[in-house]
């Protein structure tokens, strides 16, 4: 299915076409339509009229039926979704078929379960000396926000789009979604599944295009938008927030990170090395949860670095950066690291495969050591397959190093001393702390970051809270 907008139940390719490039070999995969302002406006108007129509009067049970139907529709086209995600992102097929697409299906099913089973509170109130019974009943009901703008990034395209679409629909909203210009294909397939699921026209709308001064900005600055759910870079979040301020539009932000790993001397080192290889190099480091700073207790520092380097050198089936521009950005940090005084333990350049991949955007998985905490390479998000490893001596120093960042999204702690794990994890300034594991996900838990890593939480009731407004009703008895 070629990338197309989906507005008011109709697929269109209105707008200037820009090329879709394969990150694997640099070849041209096709073209993507850039939604002009009037297409974005039509999508917002379609969403507004849809919520004023039958969709606005659906019950949560009816909406959950649609969510399950969408999940079944993705599952029925599983391979097509995997093919499209691999083509757009270049990620290994194994990753798309075990994480991205199964999680998209799981997102819809999880929110069908969560929304249907969600209780609301009631409070029997007594007011002594009050006329009549002196009693009242206070109860909470929830209303949808209205028209929700969803802006998603290129690294986990379908997973992260559906992570917002599912709860937004479960809560009764209508949607205008704009996926990344780098990865339009699975979003277009999703629109096809939603169309076949029979969602009323205008409930889900999809527009393609770039961000700043383009479709993304037209959408997030549109006065007809009632809320914005965004995942992407912190700087982009700040830009969106400036526009949202004009209309006091509520925002949910999942932003950047510079995630630390803390490896204590009492850790199972094999487990810590394997876990840090996964957390640093899965999807070539292009996951917001990936580790870019590793702190290892001094007695095992050398042993850990040697083992991590050996495992990293053995990596073969890794994917490319999403674009030539992002590849160049990551390589510029490799150069900067050396200029700032880093030792390159392994990697640091571009692999030579001797096949079509040499036309793609690959960089070597890289381990750096020897930098001060003040180095830009240690402080700035790179979003590639690179981590810096530094020693620490005691628990307090480990926590201080972990927290010395403008970001606070995720962290891993490796230790076999569970008292230490329960002491350290809550002290780390992050939204998610994994102990002796990484990216182990329970969709009911809060997901999100502190500081420059985000505003609000997604997941479970946290998403349902963001995508709905509680109304307290007080009835005099
Ligand atoms: N916290 C999380 O859950 C999470 C998940 C994935 C990615 N990220 C972050 O996203 C970044 C990588 O993704 P990216 O390069 O797609 O991010 P990005 O911010 O460049 O783009 C994300 C989306 O925002 C749109 N956009 C860009 N500028 C905009 C503007 N001014 N107004 C409206 N929309 C705009 C883009 O078109 C894209 O759809 C990294 O910083 C990564 O840490 C965070
Ligand atoms: N939001 C989630 C993952 C985000 C990954 C960031 O790149 C999730 O697992 O629910």
* pLDDT tens string 73-111: 999 999 999 999 999 999 999 999 999 999 999 999 999
Q: Residue 132 has which token pair?
A: 């009549």
Question: Is the shortest distance between the CB of 166 and ligand 2 below 6 Å?
Answer: no
The mean per-residue pLDDT over the stretch 441-449 comes to 98
**Quick one: pLDDT at residue 226?**
98
Question: Is the shortest distance between the CB of 431 and ligand 1 below 6 Å?
Answer: no
Helix%, strand%, coil% for the chain, nearest 5: 45, 20, 35
Q: Is the dihedral of CA 175, 181, 187, 192 positive or negative?
A: positive
Domain 259-442 has CATH 3.40.309.10: yes
Residues 450-471: pLDDT tens digits? 999 999 999 999 999 999 999 9
Report whether 436 contacts 271 (CB < 8 A): yes
Q: Please identify, by atom number, the ligand 1 atom nearest to the C-alpha of residue 154.
A: 16
Q: Which of 91, 155, 447 to mutate to test the pocket of ligand 2 (most atoms within 8 A of CB)?
A: 447
Question: Is the shortest distance between the CB of 216 and ligand 1 below 6 Å?
Answer: yes
Report whether 155 contacts 283 (CB < 8 A): yes
The CATH number given to 5-255+453-476 is 3.40.605.10
Residues 405-444: pLDDT tens digits? 999 999 999 999 999 999 999 999 999 999 999 999 999 9
Q: What is the 8-class DSSP label of residue 247?
A: T
Bridge-based pairing state of the strands 17-21 and 10-12: unpaired
Gyration radius of the chain over CA positions: 24
**Quick one: pLDDT at residue 158?**
99
**Quick one: pLDDT at residue 130?**
78
**Which-ligand-closest: CA of 454?**
1
Question: Is the shortest distance between the CB of 287 and ligand 2 below 6 Å?
Answer: yes
**Quick one: pLDDT at residue 217?**
98
Q: Residue 336 belongs to what H/E stretch?
A: helix 324-339
Q: Residue-wise over 426-459: b if at least 16 C-beta within 10 A, else e? A: eebbbbbbbbbebbeeebeeebbbebbbbbbbbb
What are the distances in angstroms from CA 468 to CA 69, 139, 174, 384?
22, 16, 12, 36
Question: Is the shortest distance between the CB of 447 and ligand 2 below 6 Å?
Answer: yes
**Quick one: pLDDT at residue 131?**
76
The CA dihedral of 209, 466, 410, 371, to the nearest 10 degrees, is: 60
Alpha carbon nearest to ligand 2 atom 3, residue: 160
**Which-ligand-closest: CA of 209?**
1
The mean per-residue pLDDT over the stretch 252-278 comes to 98
Paired strand residues for 297? 392
Alpha carbon nearest to ligand 1 atom 26, residue: 211
From ligand 2's centre to the CA of 25, what distance in Å?
A: 26
Q: Please identify, by atom number, the ligand 2 atom nearest to the C-alpha of residue 156.
A: 7
Residues 366-386: pLDDT tens digits? 999 999 999 999 999 999 999
**Quick one: pLDDT at residue 129?**
83
State the pLDDT confidence band at 192, using cuts at 50, 70 and 90: very high
**Quick one: pLDDT at residue 128?**
83
From ligand 2's centre to the CA of 228, what distance in Å?
A: 17
Average pLDDT, the chain: 98
Ramachandran region, residue 121 (left: φ > 0; alpha: ψ -120 to 50; beta: rest): beta
Question: For residue 217, with 0-12 CB atoms within 10 Å meaning exposed, 13-18 middle and 19 or more buried, which class applies?
Answer: buried
Bridge-based pairing state of the strands 28-33 and 468-476: unpaired
- The whole-angstrom separation of Cα 148 and Cα 330 is 33
Residues 150-187: pLDDT tens digits? 999 999 999 999 999 999 999 999 999 999 999 999 99
State the pLDDT confidence band at 133, using cuts at 50, 70 and 90: confident
The mean per-residue pLDDT over the stretch 212-224 comes to 97
- The whole-angstrom separation of Cα 362 and Cα 320 is 4
Cβ-Cβ contacts under 8 Å for 169 (sequence gap 6 or more): 63, 66, 67, 111, 175, 199, 203, 204
**Quick one: pLDDT at residue 300?**
98
The mean per-residue pLDDT over the stretch 331-336 comes to 98
**Quick one: pLDDT at residue 1?**
81
**Which-ligand-closest: CA of 89?**
1
- The whole-angstrom separation of Cα 194 and Cα 9 is 9
Q: Please identify, by atom number, the ligand 2 atom nearest to the C-alpha of residue 254.
A: 1
Alpha carbon nearest to ligand 1 atom 35, residue: 211
State the pLDDT confidence band at 59, using cuts at 50, 70 and 90: very high
Question: Is the shortest distance between the CB of 89 and ligand 1 below 6 Å?
Answer: no
Paired strand residues for 410? 432
Q: Residue 135 belongs to what H/E stretch?
A: strand 135-144
Domains of the chain, by residue range, sit at 5-255+453-476, 259-442
Question: Is the shortest distance between the CB of 458 and ligand 1 below 6 Å?
Answer: no
The mean per-residue pLDDT over the stretch 204-230 comes to 98
State the pLDDT confidence band at 22, using cuts at 50, 70 and 90: very high
**Which-ligand-closest: CA of 431?**
1
Paired strand residues for 227? 148
The mean per-residue pLDDT over the stretch 389-403 comes to 98
The mean per-residue pLDDT over the stretch 283-309 comes to 98
The mean per-residue pLDDT over the stretch 391-405 comes to 98
**How many residues belong to the chain?**
477
- ipTM comes to 0.97
**Quick one: pLDDT at residue 242?**
96
């Amino acid at each position: 299915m070629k990338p197309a907008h989906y507005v008011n139940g109709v697929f269109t390719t209105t707008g200037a076409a820009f090329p879709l490039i394969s990150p694997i070999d640099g070849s041209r995969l096709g073209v993507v339509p850039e939604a002009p302002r009037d297409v974005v406006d039509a999508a917002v108007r379609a969403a507004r009229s849809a919520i004023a129509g039958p969709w606005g009067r659906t019950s949560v049970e009816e909406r959950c039926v649609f969510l399950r139907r969408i999940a079944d529709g993705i599952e029925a086209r599983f391979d097509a979704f995997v093919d499209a995600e691999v083509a757009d992102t270049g990620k290994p097929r194994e990753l798309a078929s075990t994480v991205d697409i199964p999680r998209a299906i799981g997102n819809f099913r999880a929110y069908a379960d969560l929304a249907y089973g969600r209780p609301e509170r009631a409070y029997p109130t007594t007011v002594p000396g009050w006329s009549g019974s002196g009693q009242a009943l206070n109860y909470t009901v929830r209303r949808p926000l209205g028209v929700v703008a969803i802006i998603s990034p290129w690294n986990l395209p379908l997973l992260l789009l559906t992570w917002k679409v599912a709860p937004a629909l479960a809560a009764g909203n209508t949607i205008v979604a704009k996926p990344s210009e780098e990865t339009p294909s699975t979003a277009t397939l999703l629109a096809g599944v939603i169309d076949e699921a029979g969602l009323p026209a205008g409930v889900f709308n999809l527009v393609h295009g770039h961000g700043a001064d383009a479709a993304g900005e037209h959408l997030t600055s549109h006065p007809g938008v009632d809320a914005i759910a965004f995942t992407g870079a912190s700087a982009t979040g700040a830009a969106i927030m400036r526009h949202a301020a004009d209309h006091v539009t509520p925002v949910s932000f999942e932003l950047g990170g510079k995630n630390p790993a803390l490896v204590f001397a009492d850790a199972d080192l094999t487990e810590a090395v394997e876990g840090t290889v996964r957390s640093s190099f899965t999807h070539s480091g292009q996951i917001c949860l990936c580790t870019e700073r590793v702190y290892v207790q001094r007695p095992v520092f050398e042993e850990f670095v040697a083992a991590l380097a050996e495992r990293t050198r053995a990596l073969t089936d890794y994917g490319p950066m999403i674009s030539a521009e992002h590849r160049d950005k990551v390589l510029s940090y490799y150069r900067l690291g050396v200029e700032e005084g880093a030792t390159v333990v392994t990697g640091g350049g571009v692999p030579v495969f001797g096949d079509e991949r040499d036309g793609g955007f690959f960089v070597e998985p890289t381990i750096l050591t020897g930098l001060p905490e003040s180095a830009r390479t240690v402080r700035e998000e790179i979003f590639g397959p690179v981590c810096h490893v530094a020693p620490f001596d005691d628990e307090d120093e480990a926590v201080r190093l972990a927290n010395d960042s403008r970001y606070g999204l995720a962290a891993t702690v490796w230790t076999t001393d569970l008292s230490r794990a329960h002491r350290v994890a809550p002290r780390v300034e992050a939204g998610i702390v994994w102990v002796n594991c990484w990216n182990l996900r329970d969709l009911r838990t809060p997901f999100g970051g502190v500081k420059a890593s985000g505003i609000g939480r997604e997941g479970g009731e946290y998403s349902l809270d963001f995508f709905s407004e509680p109304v307290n009703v007080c009835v005099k008895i």
